[in-house]
Structures are given as C-alpha cells and as structure tokens.
Amino acid sequence: MAIIFSRKCELGIQAVLYLSSVEGRNVIPSEEIARELKIPKEFISKILQELTSSGIVSSKKGKMGGFSLAKNPNKIHLLDIVLAIDGSEIFSKCVLGFPNCSSETPCPMHNTWSQLIDETFKMLNEETIDQFKHKTLRKIESLK
Amino acid sequence: MAIIFSRKCELGIQAVLYLSSVEGRNVIPSEEIARELKIPKEFISKILQELTSSGIVSSKKGKMGGFSLAKNPNKIHLLDIVLAIDGSEIFSKCVLGFPNCSSETPCPMHNTWSQLIDETFKMLNEETIDQFKHKTLRKIESLK
DNA sequence: TATAAATCAGATATTTTTGTCTGATTAAAA
DNA sequence: TTTTAATCAGACAAAAATATCTGATTTATA
C-alpha cells in the first residue's frame, strides 16, 4: 500500500493540532490526548517524546504534568513536524526508487514529480498550525 | 519514514517502463530485467506476476519465455500500475489518518491536501508509458 | 524424447514499522 | 513525608512489508 506520512507522523500532527486547540490550560496529559483522539496512550506519548526532543513540544514531568507547545502556534509549521518525525527523504527521494536520480540523470517521472513535491513542500512550509484551530476543534468534535 | 509508492510499486513501474523501452523483441526474461535494473530477479518476477494477473503485462512460460506488455504502451497509464499494486487508498485516505475524514467532516488539512492529490491523480492518469521511452533508455544507461 | 530455460505458486525468512509493557524518575499535594 | 499522577527510557511483541527459496509446471529445441 502507498502512504504519504508514517502513522507516527500522522498522529504527531494530530497531537500538535490538539495541543494548539486547547485554550487557557498549562499542560495536557497524554491520557487526555489519547482519549480525545481515540488512539493508544502509550503510542502517542512515545511520539510526543520525540517531538519534545526536537523542540516542537515541551513536557512537564510529575503529578499535574503533561505536554504543551514549545512555541507560539503561529511559529510551528506543518513541515517542522514532518521533518522531525519522517525526515526530509520524501522531498528528495526518487519517486520510482532509482538510486541515482537527479536533474543530471533524471528518472522518467523526475520533472513532473518534482513539481508536485515542490508544491507539497511549499504548502507544508507555509501553513502554520494556528491556522487550523477552528477546523481542529470541529474535527475533534466529530470523533465523539 | 514517509513514502509515496511501495517498493513493489516503484519496481513495477520501473519494469513496465523497461518493457516498453525494448524494441523488436517478443518477450523479455525476468533475469534480464533484474540485471538491467539492478534489482533481485525473484522479487521482480513476483511483481510481474501481479501485473500479469491484472492485465498490464503478459507472460510466456517455458524456454524462451518471459514478459511483455499486454497492450500498446500508449494505452498503459502510470495510474494503472499504481492501482494494480498499491490500490486506490492513497487517493482517498485522510492525510492525517483520521478515520472519518470527508468533505462533511474534513480534517484540518483536508482541502489543501485534496488539491495536491487531485493534481497527482491527474498526472498519473494522463501520462502513458510510451511518453517515457527515451527518458527510460537514458536512465537505464545511467545505471551501468 | 530428453534437456534446458523459463514462469509460477506457495512457503519461509528478514527487516521495518507499529504498538505495548515495565519500571525508573519526577513533582504536586495530601 | 508519603502517596499519587505524570513523563521518560528501554525492552519487548505483533504486524506488515520486503525479500528469498524451493520445487512444480511449461515449452522450445537439440
């Protein structure tokens, strides 16, 4: 099966969007994120640990601890999360899997594909997570 | 890691492009395809079997047997190969992995992503493999 | 008709991804 | 100061994707 982002990346984005959508609270325990997004607690806390170490999320240990965004949501781009979890390979890798694909020795699909990937990159790089707040709230609601 | 097409799909496209690029020969044994594309013979013949059963490639058993395209290369679209191997999920699946994503209950990225996926679909659906012949020949050459 | 060269089917092995568990550590609050 | 509720690290388990192996079958040709 073809996929775009790894499952970890999908859930990482979901969790960051969730953190950006809750207002007036300091930190959110992973139990709540898991419950609201209907995903396993252990898995999402693993992912949030990764995002903590890459500086997108920050964590507070101990009782009353949990996770929060490490910076202003208008400074967090979707691209940051994708790069932190899935890396940059998707933007450089040959779509047909040829080992030495480049503009010098392009694969048959190289040019057409580059355009699509460039657009995707731009979108992920331009969109910041604060732009999704209302959409996220609606989506969380629809999961109930 | 993020991916677009599965490895099987990448190699399936490579193999079909290879078959479309050889001229004046009836069938090509998987050993030759594997050698030219520098990939394992057993794996590519497994993939070609799948493409045979979906009518894109045809096979001839026994001595002097091998694989060939089942139809005119200007009738084979990239999309055909993708659908045969990876299925259609990539075109309908929620990019953030939400279970119930649709235009009624869209995820935050739904609209932006739909546009990119539509463009990708169009490209795969419009391009036929005969259009890649010269590019394929050059690429094969670069692998040597 | 025997041999050689190929596909093909199914089983098995390996690797990667996904998900779970356990226990250590931390910090708030009773 | 003890209990409780949380992160965090690392090991482990399960599932999926990727790759290999074996042997049966098919067919051309010597």
> Is A2 inside any structural domain?
no
Measured between CB atoms, which of A11, A105, A143 is closest to B97? A11
* Residue B24 clears pLDDT 90, i.e. is over it: no
pLDDT band at B82 (very low <50, low <70, confident <90, very high): very high
pLDDT at A108: 92
Residues with Cβ within 8 Å of A76's Cβ and at least 6 positions away in sequence, in order, are: A16, A20, A56, A69, A128, A129, A130
User: Does residue A1 lie in a domain region?
Assistant: no
What is the nearest CA distance from B117 to chain A, expressed in angstroms?
9
Strand D bases with any atom < 7 A from protein Cβ: 4-10, 16-22, 25-29
Q: What is the pLDDT of residues A54-96, one digit of tens each?
A: 999 999 999 999 999 999 999 999 999 999 999 999 999 999 9
Residue A54 CA and nucleotide C1 C1' are separated, in Å, by: 72
> In the prediction, which pLDDT does B13 show?
97
Length of chain B: 144
Is residue B28 a contact partner of residue B68, using CB atoms and an 8 Å limit? yes
C-beta atoms surrounding B40 within 10 Å: 12
| Inside any domain, residue B111 | yes
Confidence of residue B7 (pLDDT cuts 50, 70, 90): very high
Asked, for residue B74, whether it belongs to a domain, the answer is yes
State the CATH number of the domain containing residue A26.
Answer: 1.10.10.10
How far apart, in whole angstroms, are the C-alpha atoms of residue B36 and residue B143? 8
pLDDT above 80 (res B1): no
Q: Is residue A52 a part of any domain in this protein?
A: yes
Total domains in the fold of chain B: 1
pLDDT digits (tens, 9 = 90+) for B51-68: 999 999 999 999 999 999
- Residues contacting nucleic strand D by the 7 Å CB criterion are A 1, 29-31, 45-46, 48-49, 52-53, 59-67; B 3, 6-8, 11, 40, 42-43, 46, 60-65
A35 lies in some domain: yes
Decide if B64 is inside a domain: yes
Spatial CA neighbour of B23 closest among B136, B143, B144, B142: B136
Is B2 inside any structural domain? Answer: no
> Could you list the residue range(s) of the whole structural domain that residue B114 is in?
7-142
Q: Could you report the per-residue pLDDT of A18-42, keeping only the tens digit for each? A: 999 998 888 999 999 999 999 999 9
